[in-house]
Amino acid sequence: MNATPIKVLVIDDEPPIRKLLRMGLSTQGYEILEASNGKNALELLAQNPALIILDLGLPDIQGHELLRMIRGRNDSVPIVVLSSRGDEAGKVQALDLGADDYLTKPFGMDELLARMRAALRHQLQVHGERPVFRSGDLSVDLVRRIVKVGEREVKLSPKEYELLRVLVQHAGKVLTHRFLLKELWDELTDAQYLRVYVRQLRQKIEADPERPQFVLTETGIGYRLRAAD
């Protein structure tokens, strides 16, 4: 689907490893930020990556120290550590410092992708979100960003997906026009933009967009997504 890609920060001083990760992750729809040292990595944190892949063997900042520094600035972003060190003490130290998972080089791309998905699911669960939301025939996978109605995958634009994601996060709750406008644009944006995207979303997920079963209108107030089953 055409959803906004998940941004991943890759921190590794080896160009072949960065190239491998860039190629492997890009084909899976991830957006890649690259840092070859700790200083550059700390600068790129300002771009709010959704997940970090961290090599511990960096030239300027010791890996465990960089991990501590990252956690001091962002205590929730999932971090998957890569290292040529396989000793248990190094793994335990990284995990104690806040890493979510640990892979030893050489590693398989399929295993890394699975560990990344698990770390993203865990973050969602910590924040009280379900990795997969289901209401009737509608399912929304918040990790893979896949939306289905029954067995049919629904193709959404980035903004349509963001609207649905916000509704999913607050399923069963009435969300005012002002809240949705502030979440998706800013509260000064014309509410007509919101109505257009709600209409487009309904065209794609509702059996009868004129009689919606999922995205419900609270007249004069806003919208509500039918609660999860």
Last residue of a domain, one of 126, 142, 166: 126
- The total number of structural domains in the chain stands at 2
User: What percent of the chain has pLDDT above 90?
Assistant: 60
> What is the C-alpha radius of gyration for the chain, rounded to an integer number of angstroms?
20
Q: How, if at all, do strands 132-135 and 138-141 pair?
A: antiparallel
13-27, 75-89, 128-142, 145-159: least confidently modelled range: 75-89
The pTM score is 0.71
Q: Please name the residues in contact with 148: beta carbons below 8 A apart, sequence gap of 6 or more.
A: 138, 139, 154
Is residue 1 domain-resident? no
pLDDT band for 169, please (50, 70, 90 cuts): confident
* pLDDT at 187 (0 to 100): 63
Tell me which residue of 15, 13, 72 sits closest to 42, measured CA to CA: 72
Tens digit of pLDDT for each residue in 96-153? 888 999 888 888 999 999 999 988 888 887 777 778 999 999 999 988 889 999 999 9
DSSP state of 228: P
What CATH number is given to the structural domain containing 191?
Answer: 1.10.10.10
* 3-state class (DSSP) for residue 147: strand
| CA separation for the pair 182, 118 (Å, rounded) | 30
